[in-house]
Structure 1
């Protein structure tokens, strides 16, 4: 079996286990909280606004 196939099977098995136990949602919530806590969301929002301001015809006439 190719390593990529093994990796894909392992990821699928881990994901299934996390979903079955409810840990996937817990991990998602923990990650979301940590990203907000460190200001990542605000930084990303500011970066996106900056990028959009550089694009033509994006409401910055």
Structure 2
């Protein structure tokens, strides 16, 4: 059990270090812009917008908050991101990390 907790702590520290390097170099912003572009190109944004409209119509505008809407659409939004977009971002991060070493 202690090994699992240590692993989780090390993983969290590693993610924090990677994120810090991404932020410091400006790569995080470049990746975010790439992601935005790819999501628009593949129709993800339009799909999610349509899903939002459906949720609001189903629940009623008077009965839903922004937080409710975000909670409702987040799982579908994540599921709709195409695998090739995820792979491209992961490859860019790996390349970045290799260049930093």
| TM-score of Structure 1 vs Structure 2, range by shorter chain | 0.7 to 0.9
**Matching residue of 1:52:** 56
What is the Cα deviation at residue 6 of structure 1? 0.5
Equivalent residue pairs, number: 58
Runs of 4 or more, structure 1, over 4 Å off, are none
Could you say which residue in structure 2 is the equivalent of 1:21? Answer: 25
TM-score by length of 2: 0.54
- TM-score, normalising length: structure 1: 0.87
Equivalent in 3, 6, 9 of residue 7 of structure 2: 3
Between 1 and 2, higher relative CO (CA 8 Å, sep ≥ 6) is seen in 2
Instruction: Name the structure with the higher helix share.
Output: 2
Structure 2 unpaired stretches of 5+: 63-101
CA RMSD of aligned residues (A): 1.3
